A = this chain, B = another copy of it.
Amino acid sequence: METSRLEAFADGVFAIAATLLIIDVTANAPGAELGAALLHAWPEYAAYAVSFVTIGIMWVNHHACMNQIGRANRTFLFANIALLACIAFVPFPTRLVAEHVRDDGARAAALAYGLTLTATAICFQAFWFYAAAGRRLIAEHADQRTVSGISRAFLPGVPVYAGATLVALWNPQAAVALFAAIAIFYVVESSLFGRG
């Protein structure tokens, strides 16, 4: 079974999940003058940007994985679907964080965001290690050093997101700042070190 339609379906879900984020940017502030409402709504733009970039990072990683993978079986198709279900879920906790980061729902919202990203990281590891274990689905031509490099790069994902989620129990705003910092760190780091 070849992987091109898997990539087409995945690209569709990544693109739609990222683009749907804009539906939840509303700047609703009943009674306020529009300019003031737009300035007050800055957490909505920040949440949009962080989630868009986070989904973008995951798309880049999916891309990097699929470059090494030469075939698919049914288990792998379902691992991919579970991963995509997590990614398509991201707009929901994004909306919660944007709406509640400044009120007493901040802890619940940050926990929901963190749990979603932690679950996504777990599914991403399952997706990759299922394919990479014993080169089960790895393409013939793939260089084992690249495959091992991706495996090493995946290891910090779950503990980093789980850690940031635990921070939300203690200080939700700090956890939200951490989610943003993780996204920025990843972009900067991979631009500095990952130059093609």
Q: A9 touching B13 by the CB < 8 A rule?
A: no
CB proximity to B under 8 Å, residues A1-51:
1, 5, 7-9, 11-23, 25, 27, 33-35, 38, 48-49
B-facing residues in A36-86 (Cβ within 8 Å): 38, 48-49, 52-53, 56, 59-60, 63, 66-67, 71-78, 81-82, 84-85
Report the bound CA distance from A25 to B85 in whole Å. 13
Shortest distance from the beta carbon of A85 to any chain B beta carbon, whole Å: 4
Q: Are B23 and A19 in contact (CB under 8 A)?
A: no
Contact A73 B195 (CB under 8 A): yes
- The interface bits of chain A over 73-112 (1 if a CB of B lies within 8 angstroms of the residue's CB, else 0) are 1111110011011001101100010001000110111011
Chain B residues whose C-beta falls within 8 Å of the C-beta of A52 in the assembled complex: 81, 84-85, 88
Residues on B with beta carbons closer than 8 Å to the beta carbon of A17: 19, 22
The distance in angstroms between the C-alpha atoms of A108 and B33, with both chains bound, is: 9
Inter-chain CA distance A75–B88, complex, in Å, is 25
Residues of chain B within 8 A (CB-CB) of A112 are 38
Interface residues in chain A, defined as those with a beta carbon under 8 Å from any beta carbon in chain B: 1, 5, 7-9, 11-23, 25, 27, 33-35, 38, 48-49, 52-53, 56, 59-60, 63, 66-67, 71-78, 81-82, 84-85, 88-89, 91-92, 96, 100, 104-105, 107-109, 111-112, 187, 190-191, 194-196
